[in-house]
Amino acid sequence: MSTTGLKRTPLFEEHRRAGARLVDFAGWEMPLHYGSQIGEHHHVRRDVGMFDVSHMLVIDVEGETAREFLRRALANDVARLSVPGQALYACLLNETGGVIDDLIAYGLSPQRFRLVVNAATAEKDLAWLIALRGRLALTVELQPRREWAMIAIQGPLARARFWQVRATAQAVTAALKAFQGTEVAGQFIARTGYTGEDGFEVMSPADQAVALWRDLRAAGVAPCGLGARDTLRLEAGMNLNGQDMDESVTPMESGLGWTVDLSSERDFVGRQALLAKQPQQRQAGVLLLEKGVLRAHQRVRTGRGEGSTTSGGFSPTLGHSIALARVPLGVAVGDAVEVQIRDKWLAAKVVKYPFVRMGKSLIDIPSF
């Protein structure tokens, strides 16, 4: 904990020595950028960059009924995790079907799972899981790994650069498929990320994380901050908790319907509410057709009524402004819409997202 009251990750001194601009993010003192947010964005799309994501919380769920517990806790079904280390993306829902948090769950064995939850909701998530355990009267151990750090290495050269500095891990991690992880020498290495690029997320005790960060820096891997992380995830069409979804909206209204498993009779928190609700809106991608910058909470005027942007910004890869928006049902890809920026209504169109994946544009970009 710093004198400002903000929490700091084990890599904080590395950021300060590198000249990072530090900001408050969910109560953590984190790097926004190291000089050029756009430069860091392009580094990840074209080469390799790394992020300190140690503010996220790793929670281990263990016990004979761990699998049963998570089948009740998560809207997605951990029974699908048939291969050790396999992961799935899932949501914690409240009783009304609203999204408390989105997370990644790794199945290490039928009695052992690992969750990675968001920093802003970490303590709430943990308290919610503890309360649910009590209600279900299941014997499950919930172990937050607060002593761990986490580094995301992302970009087309991410795996090669990681193997350059950790050659002993190559034989084990080379076989990892997307959304799969494995334990190596006290670390947990997963082929996951939040950028739309390939790479690893490495979870480990703090001393190992500091050593890895320094070795990657020496190998030419660019440190990247929260600014580039946000533009990268937006281009990749990935939701941000608290903006693109929250406890007031369901996964079906937030583009996360695919993470909800209703194919079995499994009862999970929020299931009955989801079955009873008929969504009135859906999530869509928006491309601005005029000069300007899309931001969150801007009105979107469509032929079927109004919606609003939930995340928005300038896309360094596309050279245009893009957004995720919640719009009325029936609004389709290709529809012309207008977005209110300050006191003007600017032309835009609905597009399919993700906008960018593996460094390539997935949409047609008009010229001004």
Where residue 367 falls among pLDDT bands split at 50, 70, 90?
A: confident
Is residue 1 scored above 60 in pLDDT? no
pLDDT of residue 366: 76
pLDDT of residue 161: 98
Q: Is the bond leading into 10 cis (omega within 30 degrees of zero)?
A: no
Where residue 365 falls among pLDDT bands split at 50, 70, 90?
A: confident
Check: CB of residue 191 under 8 Å from CB of residue 200.
Answer: yes
**What b/e sequence results for 75-111 when a residue is b if at least 16 CB atoms lie within 10 Å of its CB, and e otherwise?**
bbbbeebeeebbbbbbbbbeeebbbbbbbbbbbbeee
Where residue 2 falls among pLDDT bands split at 50, 70, 90?
A: low
347 contact partners, CB below 8 Å, separation of at least 6: 288, 289, 290, 336, 338
Q: What is the pTM of this model?
A: 0.96
pLDDT of residue 368: 62
The string of pLDDT tens digits covering residues 67-78 is 999 999 999 999
Is residue 4 scored above 90 in pLDDT? no
340 contact partners, CB below 8 Å, separation of at least 6: 298, 299, 300, 301, 346
**What b/e sequence results for 303-327 when a residue is b if at least 16 CB atoms lie within 10 Å of its CB, and e otherwise?**
eeeebbbbbbbbbbbbebbbbbbbb
Check: CB of residue 184 under 8 Å from CB of residue 224.
Answer: no
Domains and CATH numbers, the chain: 1-278 (3.30.1360.120), 280-361 (2.40.30.110)
pLDDT (average), residues 293-297: 98
Percentage of residues in the chain with pLDDT exceeding 90?
A: 97
Percentage of residues in the chain with pLDDT exceeding 70?
A: 99
pLDDT of residue 84: 96
